[in-house]
Amino acid sequence: MTELQNDRFLRALLKQPVDRTPIWMMRQAGRYLPEYRETRARAGDFLSLCKNADLACEVTLQPLERYPLDAAILFSDILTIPDAMGLGLYFETGEGPKFRQTIRSEQDFALLSRPKMDDELGYVMNAVSTIRRELNGRVPLIGFTGSPWTLATYMIEGGSSKDFRHSKAMLYSNPALMHALLDQLAEVIIDYLNAQIAAGAQAVQIFDSWGGALSHRAYTEFSLQYMTKIVAGLNREAEGRKVPVILFTKGGGQWLEAMAESGADALGLDWTTSLADARSRVGDKVALQGNMDPSVLYAKPEYIRQEVGQILQEYGQGSGHVFNLGHGIHQFVDPDHAKAFIEAVVELSPQYHTQR
């Protein structure tokens, strides 16, 4: 593989010295970019875009052509796994993802298949290897997955949910079935991320989008436990370098100490947790990623720059911080505002990495 020209993202995740704070954005390849909308129109629909390695590569690289980002992230979806397990993923305009089959009983669970990474999910690995080739060492490539709990909610509810009625009903009324589902998902995710690493992913992130919907005890038992299992099962070195793992629970600021014991190299933060507070709580155990509110990007560029400065000040001196939004960029954001955000990090962060 080609030698990396810019490795500050990987170095920061491992708390190694960097010249400035690295930056990437969750959902950086997406609907806010007109070029993405044009490529998606050519693909026909979202799933067709995900399953076409060349087009998935094209949209992955689009934000790198606009902005001085320090990482690319695989263009895919967290629901590729349940789809490959036989649930039949589809998208309805304005309603988000849906599944033709749901998991509500032991009988439903028994019908789940164990997908082969080079078969049902081979298109994801094709996209990873294509993107790595086209990046040609420009920046690292991030692979990703949804967490077992997050994937389980979609599989049980049949799509998105505001109250997770069926998922929480199963958790409390049939915990054995929930644990069986989560354990199977963890096993599949280990295979999935290891296949992405083998195909060329240089860091991986676990998106626990709905962990914050759980109670304190339920989070530890039904979400964090299984993410910890995944981290333990990953191949943590490839091409002579460590492969860092980022664990991101939206709404998970109250569990940072427990998350820091997971074995992950870095924790993602949403905008509800102070970086200064998070750093004081986790110490040197893990790096931190985040955490500007995506809605700040609706503000004028001068305000965006001010917010960036405050967040950098919150983290303070030294490596171990990857700048990001606290969740995915919104589709209605002006691309020029994203540019102001990224350029502010590039310009303002070197002062926090001076060698003393």
User: Which parts are annotated binding residues for substrate?
Assistant: 27-31, 77, 154, 209, 327
User: Which parts are annotated binding residues?
Assistant: 27-31, 77, 154, 209, 327
Is 334 a residue of the active site?
Answer: no
- In the block, tokens 């919104």 appear at 330
Which among 67, 154, 226, 315 is annotated as catalytic? 154
Which among 7, 70, 77, 270 is annotated as catalytic? 77
Backbone angles phi, psi at 292, to 5 degrees: -75, 140
Fill in the amino acid letter for 181: L
- Cβ-contact 315, 46 below 8 angstroms: no
Is 236 a residue of the active site?
Answer: no
Which among 27, 37, 236, 281 is annotated as catalytic? 27
**153 CB neighbour count, 10 Å cutoff:** 24
Cα–Cα distance between 189 and 187 in angstroms, integer? Answer: 5
Is 279 a residue of the active site?
Answer: no
Is 77 a residue of the active site?
Answer: yes
Instruction: Kindly report the three-state secondary structure assignment for every residue of the chain.
Output: CCCCCCCHHHHHHCCCCCCCCCECCCCCCCCCCHHHHHHHHHHCCHHHHHHCHHHHHHHHHHHHHHCCCCCEECCCCCCHHHHHHHHCEEEECCCEEEECCCCCCHHHHHCCCCCCCCCCCHHHHHHHHHHHHHHCCCCCEEEEEECHHHHHHHHHHCECCCCCHHHHHHHHHCHHHHHHHHHHHHHHHHHHHHHHHHHCCCEEEEEECCHHHCCHHHHHHHHHHHHHHHHHHCCCEECCEECCEEEEECCCHHHHHHHHCCCCCEEECCCCCCHHHHHHHHCCCCEEEEEECHHHHHCCHHHHHHHHHHHHHHHCCCCCEEEEECCCCCCCCCHHHHHHHHHHHHHHCHHHHCCC
Is 154 a residue of the active site?
Answer: yes
Cite the active site residues: 27, 31, 40, 77, 154
